[in-house]
Structure 1
Amino acid sequence: MSLLKKDPLQIIAFQSYGTRTHFYLRGRALEDENIDLQQQGLLRLLINSWKRIESDEIKNVDVNIKLSDGTIISTKTDDHGYFIAEFTHKNLLELANEEGWVLAEVSYGEMKMKRTIQKGNLFPAEVLIPSRKVEFGVASDIDDTILHTGVVSRLKWKLIYNTFFKSAKKRKSLEGAAEFYHLLHRGVSGTNANPIFYVSHSPWNLYLYLELFLRQNNFPKGPILLRSFEYFTSRKKRRTGPRKKHEITNLLETYVDLPFILIGDGGEHDLDIYMELAKQYPNRVKAIYVRSVTHRKKMLRIKNLIDNYKDVPVLIVDNSQQAMDHAREHGFIKSL
């Protein structure tokens, strides 16, 4: 934390998920460095990108979470400003709206230091509690699955340019992706609220950026599951396994009666992870969709992986229409 500048404090509560009786919320306490996600100028975009990476966290402070029924839980931030709050509740569905979101307020507890706190020390939080009427869940990658990033470009220069020199407002989704996700969200009846979970290798520092992108491009609202920047830059992932697999495993373990559709792209190792999960959790994966990328060697590897694979329907798609046609054929979304 800078000793020369004392920015006001904020809390970013990440959209999280739970069950009827289990409340779970992640978030982070930070200095508010006045990052304007609507800015378009090149210099300003670069400054904002640097601020997202070089965040000033508020570590080892008390944080309180209050639900609409008056329930309060307290927790503490860690050395990187992150916090996790979880507790058992008699029935969270009673507090949820028709889409399954439970609203809460997050605030700083008593602090030894005198600091200005934004928004009157009341920051909004949302936790998704899927209803019992849902048919399935969707776990989707973000990069090159719904958002053009250029992850397979030489030296990843497109990924770097798009992330640091383009505003979230200017980023465009892959054609038809938002429509497909809304159809999955509504299910075969057209009236369901199947939960959508966005899982990415990106660090939590990009949370607000990705949230704005999803909102600007009219994707269904859903928890965004990222990873800490320390994990992103370390070799820890080699010992603990891919973070994406860990997050989707948590979903499968949390919703033990809910099957999932898994969506990713051919640029990384999404299909490897998804096929492994389908093997570990028999009858829990309804289908796997893989977005093709413009990389011949990577796509050849993907096609070799699915040759003679019969466990779960796997479809390589060049566009969203192909995925929609397949989903209708298999009864995942409403027929025309």
Structure 2
Amino acid sequence: MSPGFVFRWLGWPFRYAFSKIKKKIGKLDRLRLEVFLALSNGTEVLVKGRVVEAYRQSRPSSKKSALQNILATLRRYAGSSVPDARVRVQWGNFEEVLITDSEGVFESLLRLPSQGETVSDVIFLTLIPEEGLVPEKEHVERKVRRIDSFYPRAVISDIDDTVIISKATNLGEKLWLSVSKNAYTRRPFPGVSEFYQLITRAGRYPVYYVSSSDWNLFDLIRDFLEYRKIPRGPILLKDAHVNLKNIWKSGGGNHDHKLEKIRFLMDFFPQQRFLLIGDSGQHDPELYAEIVREFPGRVEAVYIRRVGKKDPEREKVLNELLSPNQVAWVKTTAEAMQHAKKHLTFS
């Protein structure tokens, strides 16, 4: 008898209990097709989403109690990802079938038709039914967001402890905030809305949010930005699937995926110059320094919110790569706003 068989046999009561808990808190016997991105640079369209077990979820509200928010979080993380599911992408006369990876994620770069051909600005996605795979909806529509390269500036921003108060360096506080609050009760740093409205000219310049949070939090982040009147934009999160068994890992682990996603944005929009905004709580200064090295002349300025004490040795790297007018280490959003008004141009 193999050790693997023994462990599987011993673990079946826990798996059975876990499946019962998932059903109790709202998991449905259907699959949900979620579309996160349909982003165009005028030449290609990035389509990205995932397939997960569907769950019941009510709209968030500022009146929800901590217990109600905890139950909503359990529902959010109850569904397992679905690998090897087939998703049909239809865009005008174009059609492609994508296969989800081990995390239930699918992604594709679609080429725009040649000049002169008309194309719809809506992409239709369908989860192809198979034995045991029952879609929640017949199909999902997503409007393509086109961002042209003529914008003089774009913003790439972290989320946790940059826009939203997350306490990412304290696991206990971070987990409590994550499970007990919702999109309407999570708090931004003071002045964030005004600062982002300023640097994006009230949302006219594009902003991309790149975070180590997992895709389970996509709708929370989207609703939070809208509710707090922070300019919305494409949200790029970590592909690793997090569920009730490893919810404490959400937002942690390796942050190299952020570097990969920022590189993608720099390549996808080669004419744009960027502001990079982050915090010193994790690895944003080091990641942004690498981007400055790899894409000389493409970074207009870097804003880093200091978490904890000043670290001259750590700050030295960015300070040597950019001029003093291009780097701001700040404790408050008001300091960042003051720097932007003094050193950035707003055409």
**TM-score after normalising by structure 1:** 0.81
Which digits, 9 at most, give the CA deviation of each residue in 1:116-169, with x for residues without a partner?
523xx232324432124311221100011110011233xx22211111111121
Among 298, 305, 308, the residue aligned to 1:291: 305
Uncovered stretches (5+) of structure 1, i.e. residues with no partner: 97-101
For 1:173, what is the secondary structure of its paired residue? coil
Alignment of 1:1-336 (within 5 A): 6-38=28-60, 40-67=64-91, 69=92, 71-90=94-113, 102-113=121-132, 115=134, 117-118=136-137, 121-153=138-170, 156-186=171-201, 193-230=204-241, 242-293=256-307, 295-296=308-309, 299-306=311-318, 310-311=322-323, 313-333=326-346
Counterpart contact for 1:292–1:299, Cα < 8 Å: no
For 1:200, what is the secondary structure of its paired residue? strand
Separation of aligned partners in 2, 1:145 and 1:301: 21
For 2:79, what is the secondary structure of its paired residue? coil
Counterpart in 2 of 1:99? none
Counterpart contact for 2:184–2:224, Cα < 8 Å: yes
Counterpart contact for 1:74–1:85, Cα < 8 Å: no
Counterpart in 1 of 2:8? none
Separation of aligned partners in 1, 2:82 and 2:322: 50
Which digits, 9 at most, give the CA deviation of each residue in 1:174-208, with x for residues without a partner?
1221222222223xxx7x83221101111112112
Uncovered stretches (5+) of structure 2, i.e. residues with no partner: 1-17
For 1:8, what is the secondary structure of its paired residue? strand
For 1:152, what is the secondary structure of its paired residue? coil
For 2:90, what is the secondary structure of its paired residue? strand
CA 1:59–1:161 in 2, change beyond 3 Å: closer, same or farther? Answer: same
Counterpart contact for 2:32–2:135, Cα < 8 Å: no
The AA in structure 2 aligned to 1:47 is L
Separation of aligned partners in 2, 1:80 and 1:89: 28
The AA in structure 1 aligned to 2:281 is G
CA 1:64–1:304 in 2, change beyond 3 Å: closer, same or farther? Answer: same
**TM-score after normalising by structure 2:** 0.79
Which digits, 9 at most, give the CA deviation of each residue in 1:222-268, with x for residues without a partner?
1111112359959x976xx7211111011112122211110001211
Which digits, 9 at most, give the CA deviation of each residue in 1:250-309, with x for residues without a partner?
11121222111100012112111111210121101110001122x12x655554445555
For 2:29, what is the secondary structure of its paired residue? coil
The AA in structure 1 aligned to 2:90 is K
CA 1:243–1:87 in 2, change beyond 3 Å: closer, same or farther? Answer: same
CA 1:36–1:152 in 2, change beyond 3 Å: closer, same or farther? Answer: same
The AA in structure 1 aligned to 2:224 is F
Structure 1 stretch displaced more, 222-231 or 139-148: 222-231
Counterpart contact for 1:16–1:224, Cα < 8 Å: no
| CA RMSD of superposed structures (Å) | 3.1
Separation of aligned partners in 2, 1:73 and 1:182: 38
Separation of aligned partners in 1, 2:118 and 2:266: 23
**Following TM superposition, by how much is the alpha carbon of 1:54 offset from its aligned partner in structure 2, in angstroms?**
3.5
